[in-house]
């Protein structure tokens, strides 16, 4: 029995939860929808495909994860298309999704450029004892014209990865290895333009207000040349996220969420840095978009942000008078800042700067790590809280200047005197944008009024545009640059956010939800100053509360992670 009386449009599905018959996206209950919107997927999946399979990527995406994605973004009777089916994970995942429902089931279409994948898929189906069924069709990519425009309900695929790490590979989605050695940047451009050109042929097949799911391998690496010797460098997964989002917006596709899949290490409670397996981008077709191909040039990919994406999988319980510090609303756990300090500045005698100190999460972390520190913030209330907490726990009280960092950094901080800058930037329009929901609820419960941010009472300014916000941050970090010792680190906490944005097209509803990649925008700004991008740390606290946003009408992510961007001078 459900805890609340059912409406006439609801159905009790027992252990699965309550299903809303008005749900246009999928066949999930509110309970299932809740977990399908998490921006982090911490899960290990069994290897169903087995070893020795041909794959365009370094490893195929798990079939079970594919099933979950298909079930989240399509309904029975709809048509699912994978335009680069490769090892066939998404096709088999869709077949598994069909196995759990009575007819009529989803129609499944797979396109592929390379003949060998057709042969392999037939063998995999046989090995898994899956019988070919009428719901699945395999076509050469050149035959995509047989698919009518706006006939597909879901496009879902692994982004065709350029993998020159194996010079003998016949499956590389690029030109030959010798050519890559002569001009690697040109080959990156060729690869990206080829993929975007092929995808453009697919966008017209997707119905309006339906979804495109792109999976980007986290361990996607490329080679760089140095003195004619090739070495493997870090991933461009983070870089591709922003680039692809900008390109697909030209074709009328709006980013709705990113979902990061990683496999938790054994014992689950630790602070090891865990590589991500996939970053899954969720797009929705909301505009007609351009009918011409978007040409990527060297200016668009410059600077090329190269660096691994790693997970910090740990919850930090309330500490150091959390009840007082939480007035800030965007505080950092001191134990997390301590961890970062000990990783990036283990030496003795270093000094740390936080130009947006808030209630002192960085300063307290520095004290726990036995390092010296200085903070700056524009609100005197935060300084008072920081000093009270430090005295309460018998920690050193570091200098804390009240005022605008753009003015105080040149005035108070000597050049080349800082060994680490560690800060949480003020989020753009965090407190003033119209929220994406008037109320929120948990699965199966009645809605309740939204919670208001604790930061809003200290913010009396107008909402800046994204460009103005970035320019303000640029001024602060330009002032910081001269203060940082060469070869030392800048570490910035910044989270992406989902917000309702005004769309000027009067033919549409006036507002549309959009997932904003503030991380990539800020990273580019910092690289323009002269900081060198190193990598992205993704902090995921598994005990973070979930709210069911949007059900049953709109897919809205439950953001359960925050990015920590690491740069070096």
The full set of domains in the chain, from first to last, is 32-311 (3.40.50.150), 312-568 (3.40.50.150)
Looking at residue 445, what is its pLDDT? Answer: 52
The encoded tokens of residue 240 equal 């591709």
Looking at residue 160, what is its pLDDT? Answer: 83
The encoded tokens of residue 554 equal 């709109």
Let me know: does 198 contact 212? Beta carbons within 8 Å. Answer: no
DSSP conformational letter for 62? P
Looking at residue 433, what is its pLDDT? Answer: 41
Among 341, 339, 278, which Cα is nearest to 314's?
Answer: 339
For 229, the 3-state DSSP assignment is strand
Residues linked to residue 375 through DSSP beta bridges, in sequence order: 354, 400
Extract the residue ranges of the chain whose pLDDT is less than 50: 1, 164-181, 223-233, 430-438, 440-444, 450-460, 506, 508-509
Let me know: does 523 contact 477? Beta carbons within 8 Å. Answer: no
The encoded tokens of residue 143 equal 């035959």
Rounded Cα–Cα distance for residues 539 and 253 (Å): 28
Rounded Cα–Cα distance for residues 289 and 360 (Å): 46
Looking at residue 325, what is its pLDDT? Answer: 86
In 412-556, at which residue ranges do the beta strands (DSSP E only) sit?
Answer: 418-424, 439-440, 448-449, 484-494, 497-502, 511-516, 532-540
The encoded tokens of residue 502 equal 């005004």
Rounded Cα–Cα distance for residues 16 and 532 (Å): 48
Indicate the pairing of strand 136-140 with strand 107-112: parallel
Rounded Cα–Cα distance for residues 450 and 439 (Å): 5
Give the count of alpha carbons within 13 A of 370, CB side only: 4
Looking at residue 363, what is its pLDDT? Answer: 97
Q: Report the 10 Å Cβ neighbour count for 485.
A: 15
The encoded tokens of residue 474 equal 């640029």
Rounded Cα–Cα distance for residues 468 and 472 (Å): 6
Instruction: Please give the C-alpha separations between residue 201 and each of 206, 232, 483, 538, in angstroms, as whole numbers.
Output: 10, 33, 50, 34
Q: Residues 96-106, buried b or exposed e (16+ Cβ, 10 A)? A: bbbeeeeeebb
Among 121, 111, 185, 114, which Cα is nearest to 152's?
Answer: 111
Angle of helix 380-392 versus helix 361-368 axis, rounded to 10 = 30
Let me know: does 489 contact 345? Beta carbons within 8 Å. Answer: yes
Rounded Cα–Cα distance for residues 427 and 497 (Å): 9
Angle, vertex CA 43, rays to CA 39 and CA 47, nearest 5: 130
What global pTM score does this model have? 0.89
């Amino acid at each position: 029995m459900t805890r609340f009386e059912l409406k006439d449009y609801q159905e009790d599905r027992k252990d699965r939860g309550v299903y809303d018959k008005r749900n246009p996206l999928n066949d999930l209950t509110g309970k299932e929808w809740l977990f399908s919107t998490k921006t982090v997927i911490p899960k290990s999946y069994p290897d169903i495909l087995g070893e020795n399979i041909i794959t365009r990527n370094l490893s195929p995406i798990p079939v079970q994860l594919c099933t979950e994605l298909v079930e989240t973004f399509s309904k029975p009777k709809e048509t699912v298309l994978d335009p680069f089916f490769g090892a066939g994970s998404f096709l088999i995942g869709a077949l598994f999704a069909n196995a759990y429902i009575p007819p009529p089931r989803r129609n499944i279409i797979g396109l592929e450029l390379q003949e060998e994948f057709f042969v392999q898929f037939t063998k995999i189906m046989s090995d898994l004892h899956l019988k070919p069924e009428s719901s699945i069709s395999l076509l050469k990519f050149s035959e995509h014209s047989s698919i009518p425009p706006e006939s597909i309900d879901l496009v879902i695929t692994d982004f065709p990865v350029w993998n020159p790490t194996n010079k003998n590979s016949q499956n590389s989605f690029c030109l030959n290895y010798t050519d890559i050695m002569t001009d690697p940047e040109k080959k990156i451009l060729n690869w990206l333009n080829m993929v975007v050109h092929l995808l453009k042929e697919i966008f017209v097949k997707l119905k309006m207000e339906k979804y495109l799911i792109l999976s980007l391998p986290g361990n996607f690496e490329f080679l760089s040349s140095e003195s004619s010797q090739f070495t493997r460098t870090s991933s461009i997964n983070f870089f591709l996220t922003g680039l692809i989002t900008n390109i697909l917006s030209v074709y009328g596709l709006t980013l709705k969420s990113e979902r990061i899949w990683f496999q938790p290490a054994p014992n689950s409670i630790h602070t090891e840095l865990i590589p991500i397996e996939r970053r899954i981008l969720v797009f929705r077709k909301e505009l007609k978009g351009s009918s011409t191909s978007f040409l990527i040039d060297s200016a668009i990919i410059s600077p090329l942000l190269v660096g691994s994406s790693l997970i910090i999988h740990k919850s930090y319980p309330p500490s150091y008078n959390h009840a007082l510090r939480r007035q800030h609303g965007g505080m950092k756990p001191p134990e997390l800042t301590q961890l970062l300090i000990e990783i990036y500045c283990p030496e003795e005698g270093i000094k740390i700067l936080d130009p947006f100190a808030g209630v002192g999460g960085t300063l307290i972390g520095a004290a726990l790590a036995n390092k010296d520190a200085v903070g700056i913030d524009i609100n005197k209330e935060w300084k008072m809280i920081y000093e009270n907490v430090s005295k309460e726990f018998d920690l050193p009280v570091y200098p804390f200047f009240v005022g605008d960092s753009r003015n105080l950094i040149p005035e108070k901080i000597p050049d080349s005197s800082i060994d680490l800058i560690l800060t949480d930037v003020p989020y753009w329009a965090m407190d003033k944008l119209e929220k994406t929901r008037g109320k929120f609820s948990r699965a199966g419960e009645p809605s309740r009024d939204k919670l208001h941010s604790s930061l809003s009472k200290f913010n009396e300014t107008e909402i800046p545009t994204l460009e103005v916000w970035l320019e303000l941050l640029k001024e602060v970090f330009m002032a910081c640059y001269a203060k940082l010792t060469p070869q030392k680190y800048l570490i910035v906490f910044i989270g992406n956010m989902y917000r309702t944005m005004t769309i000027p097209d009067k033919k549409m509803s006036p507002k549309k939800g959009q997932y904003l990649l503030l991380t990539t925008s800020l990273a580019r700004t910092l690289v323009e100053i002269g900081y060198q991008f190193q990598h992205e740390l993704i902090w995921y606290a598994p005990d973070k509360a979930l709210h069911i946003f949007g059900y049953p009408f709109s897919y809205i992510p439950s953001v359960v992670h925050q990015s920590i961007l690491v740069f070096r001078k």
